[in-house]
Amino acid sequence: MKGSEIFLESLKREGVEVMFGYPGGQVLPIFDSLYDSDIKFILTRHEQGAAHAADGYARATGKVGVCLATSGPGATNLVTGIANAYMDSIPMVAITGQVKSFLIGNDAFQEADVTGITRPITKHNYLVKDVKDLARIIREAFYIASTGRPGPVLIDIPSDIQLMDAEFIWPKNVEIRSYNPTLFGHPGQIKKAAKLIAAAKKPIIYAGGGVITSGAHKELKMLAEKINAPLTWTLMGIGAFPATHELSLGMLGMHGTAYANHAIMESDLIIAVGARFDDRVTGRLDAFAPYAKIIHIDVDPSSISKNVNVHIPIVGDAKNILIELLRDIKKVPNTCDWLKTVEGWKKKYPLVYKNDGALKPQYIIEQIYEVTEGDAIITTEVGQNQMWAAQWYKYTAPRTFISSGGLGTMGFGLPAAMGVKIGCPDKTVFDIAGDGSIQMNIQELMTCVANKINVKIAILNNGYLGMVRQWQELFYKRRYSQVDITSPDFVKLAESYGCVGIRVTKKEEVRPALEKAIATDNTVMIDFKVEPEENVFPMVPAGQAINQFIGGLA
């Protein structure tokens, strides 16, 4: 079999149904073999779009997302998408063509040291030097990408290797002596955690993206209900616990709810599950949760005690550990008083916005929630739109909020929505966008139309790079520097791409526009001309303790 055929056969063995990518000189053999393959290929309009689409597909389905690009510029165009997946621990395999093996290092046409460039933003990467290694490398890549703390793996394949012949041998199993992720928590640690929980008076559960990755949402709910503890989540943890549940406190951190932040600051025990105490969550570190002991459940040992000191670390898969923990908790704490206190904060500092006659972004998100009956999958861009989408839609299931957390990549939402829709064709998929971000990967509208990938785009068009403007307003004396962003006529733009554009300028038009968008069997772009200087509140200024809010009623 030729290298290119080995490649495709290996993908089939891995169960790959769809790939996102773009052709070029150093992947011609692969595209030639693809001509006869039944793996679906989505030709994006930019390689960054392919990487984000693969990422969105992975987030929505839990399967490994696959993207493919040629050498040099094709590969470097993937870089942002790979870094994005790396920061959020998303299982992805990126394949790049490389110049012929004997030309490597010669500054050949379209050569770039792609394994070098991506080394710090991949979980692992490979340069294939012998066609006989190809099947094994692909097998390993999928295994590494999807196990332990998942992440992107890149395989760089020189074009001559794609043409060389070798016998196809599919390894029965993967053996990497130096890679053995810990799956089960240490029983002694879990017992200690159970004791600590029993003794707590003010426990709080803090859930991150790891809960979703490990599929531990049911066990998480059982834990919260068993010990009657309020629960808060990170941006990546949205959907890990139903927002409609009475124990839910919403998101914590910089733009978290005031009550979540008060609760974590006053708690005497934090049970962190699959979360990493990132600076957007902890605020000023030395002031974070001063009375709390911390139980930290995480699959990645290097996350533990990296930012905060942890009393009981438990390394392993969240689901396995929660199952054991639930079994070991014999005595549950009495949290009645604590829940009353928390309820008091909820009443005193509700999440609010001024819902006057103006067209408010928060209102639009609430309406999207109502019109879709909470059953849509939401992707976001980055900025205010992202924070409002996190705050004002009530997510009740994992893998329904798809957002660039760690890297904060503008331009993620639209290509990610494509990937989501391909993975979940029966779901309504909304990209909640900003007018700035949407222009970063707008070309993917064409991919949607060409492939009949029916997604809905809600642009919260405030005429600004809103989040940056907000910081300039609050911390730089309203000296608005390069945040005024002009946009094309989005309705005409949508039409010229062959999809449907709708403009909304008034509150009363929101509902009908959303209903029409959902009823339309095409990609629809709605340009909501929202209040230009609306801010995201509450807000904890960077470097402050997370109970020090500005704005809102907090």
Partner 1 sequence: MRHTISVLVENKFGVLARIAGLFSARGYNIASLAVSETLDPAISYMTIVVEAKDAKILEQIKKQLNKLIDVITITDFTKKEHVDRELVLARVKYSSKDKSKLENVFKKYVGKIIQHKADVAIIEAVGEGVQIKSLLDELSKFEIQELVRTGKLAISN
Which residues are near Mg ion by CB under 5 A?
434-436, 462, 464, 466
Q: Which is nearer to Mg ion, 454 or 462 (CB)?
A: 462
Q: Which is nearer to ligand TPP, 23 or 405 (CB)?
A: 405
Q: Is residue 267 within the footprint of ligand TPP (CB under 6 A)?
A: no
Q: Which is nearer to partner 1, 121 or 418 (CB)?
A: 121
Phi, psi of 46 (to 5 degrees): -160, 145
Q: Is residue 408 within the footprint of ligand TPP (CB under 6 A)?
A: yes
CA atoms within 13 A on the CB side of 262: 19
The 119-138 site mask, x for binding ligand TPP (CB under 6 A), equals: --------------------
Q: Are 409 and 433 in contact (CB under 8 A)?
A: no
Q: Is residue 173 within the footprint of partner 1 (CB under 8 A)?
A: no
Q: Is residue 384 within the footprint of ligand TPP (CB under 6 A)?
A: yes
Q: Is residue 300 within the footprint of partner 1 (CB under 8 A)?
A: yes
Q: Is residue 296 within the footprint of partner 1 (CB under 8 A)?
A: no
Q: Which of Mg ion, ligand TPP, partner 1, none does 176 bind, CB closer than 5 to 8 A by kind?
A: partner 1
Least Å distance, CB 500 to ligand TPP, is: 21
Q: Which is nearer to partner 1, 305 or 487 (CB)?
A: 305
Q: Which of Mg ion, ligand TPP, partner 1, none does 510 bind, CB closer than 5 to 8 A by kind?
A: none
Between the CA of residue 7 and those of 26, 32, 76, 147, 169, what are the distances in Å? 14, 12, 21, 21, 11
Interface pick for ligand TPP out of 379, 409, 428, 535 (rule CB under 6 A): 409
Q: Which is nearer to partner 1, 73 or 181 (CB)?
A: 181
For the chain, helix (H) and strand (E) counts, in that order, are: 21, 18
The 179-218 site mask, x for binding partner 1 (CB under 8 A), equals: x---------------------------------------
The arrangement of strands across the sheet holding 124-127 comes to 40-43, 18-21, 65-69, 92-98, 152-158, 124-127
Q: Is residue 88 within the footprint of ligand TPP (CB under 6 A)?
A: no
Least Å distance, CB 139 to partner 1, is: 14
Burial of 408 (0-12, 13-18, 19+ CB in 10 A): middle
Phi, psi of 160 (to 5 degrees): -70, -30
Which residues lie closer than 8 Å to 353 by C-beta, 6 or more apart? Answer: 360, 362, 363, 534, 537
Least Å distance, CB 129 to partner 1, is: 8
Least Å distance, CB 492 to partner 1, is: 45
Least Å distance, CB 182 to partner 1, is: 11
Q: Which is nearer to partner 1, 114 or 207 (CB)?
A: 114
Between the CA of residue 262 and those of 344, 364, 547, what are the distances in Å? 11, 28, 6
Q: Is residue 144 within the footprint of partner 1 (CB under 8 A)?
A: yes
Residues 276, 279, 282, 283: what is their CA dihedral angle, to the nearest 10 degrees?
Answer: 180
Q: Which is nearer to ligand TPP, 295 or 410 (CB)?
A: 410
Span interacting with ligand TPP, options 244-252, 305-313, 458-466, 503-511, rule CB under 6 A:
458-466
Nearest to 189 by CA among 301, 71, 24, 346: 301
Q: Which of partner 1, Mg ion, ligand TPP, none does 301 bind, CB closer than 5 to 8 A by kind?
A: partner 1
Rounded distance, CA 353 to CA 371, Å? Answer: 20
Rounded distance, CA 404 to CA 309, Å? Answer: 27
Q: Is residue 283 within the footprint of ligand TPP (CB under 6 A)?
A: no
The DSSP result for 36-82, as a single string, is T--SEEEE-SSHHHHHHHHHHHHHHHSSPEEEEE-TTHHHHHHHHHH
Tokens 């769809």 belong to residue:
18
Q: Is residue 305 within the footprint of partner 1 (CB under 8 A)?
A: yes
Interface pick for ligand TPP out of 385, 441, 447, 547 (rule CB under 6 A): 385
Rounded distance, CA 10 to CA 318, Å? Answer: 30
Q: Which of Mg ion, ligand TPP, partner 1, none does 437 bind, CB closer than 5 to 8 A by kind?
A: ligand TPP
Q: Which is nearer to partner 1, 173 or 481 (CB)?
A: 173
Strands (E), 322-373: none
Phi, psi of 106 (to 5 degrees): -100, 10
Q: Is residue 436 within the footprint of ligand TPP (CB under 6 A)?
A: yes
Q: Is residue 116 within the footprint of partner 1 (CB under 8 A)?
A: yes
Interface pick for partner 1 out of 36, 120, 481, 519 (rule CB under 8 A): 120
Q: Is residue 306 within the footprint of partner 1 (CB under 8 A)?
A: yes
Q: Are 135 and 170 in contact (CB under 8 A)?
A: yes
Rounded distance, CA 311 to CA 303, Å? Answer: 14
Burial of 517 (0-12, 13-18, 19+ CB in 10 A): buried
Q: What SS3 class is residue 186?
A: coil
Q: Is residue 467 within the footprint of ligand TPP (CB under 6 A)?
A: yes
Q: Which of partner 1, ligand TPP, Mg ion, none does 410 bind, CB closer than 5 to 8 A by kind?
A: ligand TPP
The interface with partner 1 within residues 415-474 (CB under 8 A) comprises: none
Token digits for 112?
A: 């770039």
- Tell me how many residues contact partner 1 (CB under 8 A): 17
Rounded distance, CA 100 to CA 121, Å? Answer: 24
Q: Which of partner 1, ligand TPP, Mg ion, none does 127 bind, CB closer than 5 to 8 A by kind?
A: partner 1
Interface residues with partner 1 (CB under 8 A) are: 115-116, 119-120, 123-124, 127, 144, 176-179, 300-302, 305-306
Interface residues with ligand TPP (CB under 6 A) are: 381-385, 408-410, 434-437, 460, 462, 464-468
